[in-house]
Amino acid sequence: MKYSEPAPTTVLATVNRLGPPGTPMSTTEVAAEFDCPLEAVDDRLRTLVKDDFLDRKIVGNQQVWWRPPRDTQQSHSTPTSNDVDADSASQPLSMAELNPVLEVLDTVGVGIFILDSTFEVVWFNTAIEQYFGLDRQAIIGRNKRNVIREEIRGTVANPDRFAETVLTTYNDNTFSEQFECRITASDGRGERWLEHRSAPIKSGVYEEGRIELYDDITDRKRHEQALRHQHEQLAELNSINKVIQNITTAVIEQSTRGEIETIVCDRLTDVDNYEFAWIGEVDTQSQAIRPRAEGGVEGYLEDVSLSANPNNPGGHGPAGTAIRTQEMQVTQDVLSNPEFEPWHEYAEHYGYRSVAVVPIVYAGSCYGLLGIYAANPHAFDNEVCPVVAQLGEIMGHAIAATERKQALMSPEITEIQFLVPDLLSDMSIDSDHDGTITLDRVVPLGDDVFLEYGTVDTDVVETLEAIVGKHPHLELVTLSEQDDETLSFVIKLLEPPITSVIATYGGYLQQMNIKDGSLQMTIHLPTTVPARRIIDRIQQQYPTVELLSRRQRSRSTESPERVELTSDLTDRQRAVIETSVRSGYFEWPRNVSGEELATLFGVTPPTFHQHLRLGQKKIFESLFLLPPFDGDGR
């Protein structure tokens, strides 16, 4: 018949359960609690006497065993019932009572398991209770193998590996073990990292048993994870910076908008974490976002429904918000964001978890959207976002420059004429006088500040002043006499006018005047720019505008030589030179000083003169390096 010999600790716990300290009991009474021979129990009782946990006395032909009371434990005198503590009578024996050292170990922050030679749990401290959520009353005396399978296994992050590693030490209790494990969070138990260290016990009552230590290394692991995350972020940021630098260099070399858009999408997929990218623009009629270029994916914008219309379900995501706010929109985890729920199916299908949508904007004009999709959540953190946002500005500037260059060199233009009837009445401005207000030119000063140059008939000067007074972003800078019937004026604008929007598409204002209370406007656009895009922008600013005509005609106002002279100027150099000319800086005597113009630009006089000198140098170099006239006088 097979039986299991009890461990000394199990026998000691049984003695404690059968009676309080000082209660005598025979070998037969103790052995009745075990399914094993009497001799095995007698052997364990003798071991406990040898280690001073029990006392023994022979009464007649029987041996009597008892646990001595705590205050007389070392005297080995026979106990009586009067020595029994009433409170301890109902409590099972704890190892803290058996050994004062364990009282200290019970308070330490390192978890401790003590196992006997059969790997039954002899004792564990409070830290183990907290780490694994174990009940000491229910666990002590049980085989640790079963405790792992039935209790501990469900608390660790990798249960199979944990169980295999620990059980191996029981199968071959000859070596030390060390490994790390993660305790998962649950009710009443926090997530933590533990370091397991265990070794065989080589002497004493628990010889051939095992001691296991669990050290809480959560703070260290979190610090390591933070350092690793910082390293990964830095590496990713360096990678993104490198890609964007390459994109910046590449877009400058492209000659068309399509080439710029294609190379941006292709280069973005070089970033390890970025799955794909697309560039789209808004269909002015349907408000749907249509694809212009893609990289790393095919047909994404054709599969999904994205819109700029807030009343459309497809307009509630980051793309629709970005086009309306003209600001970068980020979704750090698309699967946990309820606003992204309409596209969860696409996120799982295309394999992305975070999204950044960047408006492509320059000088108040939006050329479309750049969408970037990453495989991991939180790919666009506070360090990455400013870098990615630059792409919208870089692309907007490059596209605007390309379209301006194409417009200047194109032999044909699109001419569009508009009428805004009863403009002054709509502004609640009374004007009983006949006269015309003419806008000749708008010059950008930078930082969304512009100068408008024009003329006004003397009879409607008050009308001009009333218009300026109606708009807080307008400021009448100068009003000077040009002749007996006309005055010249300069108006400062603190936000982009509609003319700057036209300019960003390579177009320009050919004529704009207010006469008989209505606004008339003629603009010229490159033939490559969809006219509907500009028409929609003008209708947004002037809802009552009427389209009078749209036709294609030959360019005749600027020769190639004039284009060549000014094509190398920066925006600031062009603005400084043109403002200087129109303000009379080059007249003799000068109508305005360099200091006054510097104040107008918001820069110091030396900075103003630097822009002026550099611009003049470029014009003169272009002028004197032009090919000589041929025999036909060209």
Q: What is the pLDDT of residues 416-472, one digit of tens each?
A: 999 999 888 888 888 777 889 998 888 877 777 888 888 999 989 999 999 898 888
The CATH number of 8-93 is which of 2.60.120.10, 1.10.10.10, 3.30.479.10, 2.30.30.60?
Answer: 1.10.10.10
Q: What is the pLDDT of residues 174-199, one digit of tens each?
A: 999 999 999 998 877 889 999 999 99
Q: Residue 158: which pLDDT band, with cuts at 50, 70 and 90? A: very high
Q: What is the pLDDT of residues 273-288, one digit of tens each?
A: 899 999 999 987 888 9
The confidence score (pLDDT) of residue 474 equals 87
pLDDT at 99 over 80: no
Q: What is the pLDDT of residues 239-286, one digit of tens each?
A: 888 888 888 888 878 878 889 999 999 999 888 889 999 999 998 788
The confidence score (pLDDT) of residue 408 equals 65
Q: What is the pLDDT of residues 110-152, one digit of tens each?
A: 999 999 999 999 999 999 999 999 998 899 889 999 999 999 9
Distances (CA, A) of 26 to 8, 15, 60: 16, 10, 12
pLDDT at 92 over 60: no
Q: CATH code for 558-634?
A: 1.10.10.10
Q: Residue 3: which pLDDT band, with cuts at 50, 70 and 90? A: low
Quote the tokens at residue 227. 């350092």
Asked if 8-93 and 558-634 have one fold, the answer is yes
Q: What's the one-letter identity of residue 63?
A: Q
How many CB atoms sit inside 10 A of residue 87's CB? Answer: 8
Q: Could you write out the three-class secondary structure of 112-130? A: EEEECCCCEEEEECHHHHH
Q: Which residue has the higher pLDDT, 190 or 2?
A: 190
The third-level CATH classification (topology) of the domain covering 228-407 is Beta-Lactamase (3.30.450)
Distances (CA, A) of 146 to 14, 140, 498: 20, 12, 79
The confidence score (pLDDT) of residue 145 equals 95
The confidence score (pLDDT) of residue 631 equals 46
The confidence score (pLDDT) of residue 87 equals 42
274 burial (CB, 10 Å; 0-12 / 13-18 / 19+) is: buried
Q: Residue 90: which pLDDT band, with cuts at 50, 70 and 90? A: very low
Q: Residue 565: which pLDDT band, with cuts at 50, 70 and 90? A: low
Low-confidence winner among 76-80, 318-322, 621-625 (lowest mean pLDDT): 76-80
| DSSP-H helix ranges across 254-310 | 257-268, 300-303
Q: What is the DSSP letter of 6?
A: P
Sorted by where each begins, the domain ranges of the chain are 8-93, 97-216, 228-407, 410-555, 558-634
Q: Which residue has the higher pLDDT, 484 or 291?
A: 291
Q: What's the one-letter identity of residue 197?
A: R
pLDDT at 367 over 50: yes
pLDDT at 46 over 50: yes
Average pLDDT, the chain: 84
The third-level CATH classification (topology) of the domain covering 97-216 is Beta-Lactamase (3.30.450)
Mean pLDDT on 15-39? 85
Q: Residue 610: which pLDDT band, with cuts at 50, 70 and 90? A: very high
| C-alpha span between 31 and 25 (Å, rounded) | 10
The confidence score (pLDDT) of residue 331 equals 94
The confidence score (pLDDT) of residue 562 equals 53
CB 158 within 8 A of CB 139: no
Q: Residue 94: which pLDDT band, with cuts at 50, 70 and 90? A: very low
The confidence score (pLDDT) of residue 496 equals 67
Distances (CA, A) of 461 to 434, 453, 455, 485, 486: 11, 14, 10, 11, 9
pLDDT at 33 over 50: yes
The confidence score (pLDDT) of residue 157 equals 93
Mean pLDDT on 577-602? 87
Q: Residue 626: which pLDDT band, with cuts at 50, 70 and 90? A: low
Q: What is the pLDDT of residues 309-333, one digit of tens each?
A: 988 888 889 999 999 999 999 999 9
Listed ranges 163-167, 375-379, 384-388, 578-582; the one with the highest mean pLDDT: 163-167
The confidence score (pLDDT) of residue 300 equals 93
- Of 270, 268, 291, 271, the closest CA to residue 279 belongs to 291
pLDDT at 495 over 80: no
pLDDT at 81 over 80: no
Residue 145 Cα to chain centre, angstroms: 45
Distances (CA, A) of 424 to 442, 488, 489, 507: 21, 21, 19, 26
| C-alpha span between 89 and 348 (Å, rounded) | 63
Quote the tokens at residue 275. 């799955």
How many CB atoms sit inside 10 A of residue 180's CB? Answer: 12
